[in-house]
Structure 1
Amino acid sequence: MRKSFYEYLMTERNPNSHDEIAEFANNAFFDQSFPKHTDNFAEISKYLEENAGYLPTMTIFDDVWQRYLAYLD
């Protein structure tokens, strides 16, 4: 079974890093409402735009999404 985006994002966690992707992953870990079981770009993007004040720019999400797609290949 294919990993959800959230499952992939959790591989980027690093509580000791100030890298923007690691910080995104760290914050998403604590976000109880994050859509954890989907791989749908539109659903995740909409959620982040409306609810993720911890994400300073959607470009970070776009970068991680591209890594996720490469991981799935």
Structure 2
Amino acid sequence: MNRSFYEYLMTLKGPNISEPETKFANDVGEDLSFPKHSKNYQEISHYLEFNAYYIDNMDLFDEVWEQYVENNA
């Protein structure tokens, strides 16, 4: 994987917050503590579960992570 999960997410940012992936990306972009250089599923998942107020359902993270893996191989 060439880029971090954060870098991938930033490609999903945009004004259409009705799309869950876009809202998630926008929220992560505003999270100053997000592990920006990580490519590790466990590290990011743990961070989101215990520190991120903006994600209600970890299924969304899993879906976006799958896209990340597919698009970043």
Taking structure 1 as the reference length, the TM-score comes to 0.94
The corresponding residue for 1:21 is 21
Classify the secondary structure of the residue corresponding to 1:12.
coil
Q: Distance in 2 between matches of 1:70 and 1:14?
A: 21
The corresponding residue for 1:68 is 68
The corresponding residue for 2:41 is 41
Taking only aligned residues, the RMSD between alpha carbons, in angstroms, comes to 1.2
The CA deviation at 1:18 is 1.2
The corresponding residue for 1:32 is 32
5+ unaligned residues in a row in structure 1: which ranges?
A: none
Query: RCO greater where, 1 or 2, for CA within 8 Å and sep 6 or more?
Result: 2
Spell out structure 1 runs of 4+ moving beyond 6 A. Answer: none
Classify the secondary structure of the residue corresponding to 1:63.
helix
**Percent identity at matched positions?**
49
Q: Distance in 2 between matches of 1:51 and 1:67?
A: 23
5+ unaligned residues in a row in structure 2: which ranges?
A: none
- CA-to-aligned-CA distance 1:48-68 (integer Å, 9 cap, x gap): 000111001000000000000
- CA-to-aligned-CA distance 1:18-51 (integer Å, 9 cap, x gap): 1111000000000000000010000000000001
The corresponding residue for 1:57 is 57
Q: Distance in 2 between matches of 1:20 and 1:2?
A: 24
Taking structure 2 as the reference length, the TM-score comes to 0.94
Is the CA contact 2:20–2:60 (under 8 Å) kept in the aligned structure 1? yes
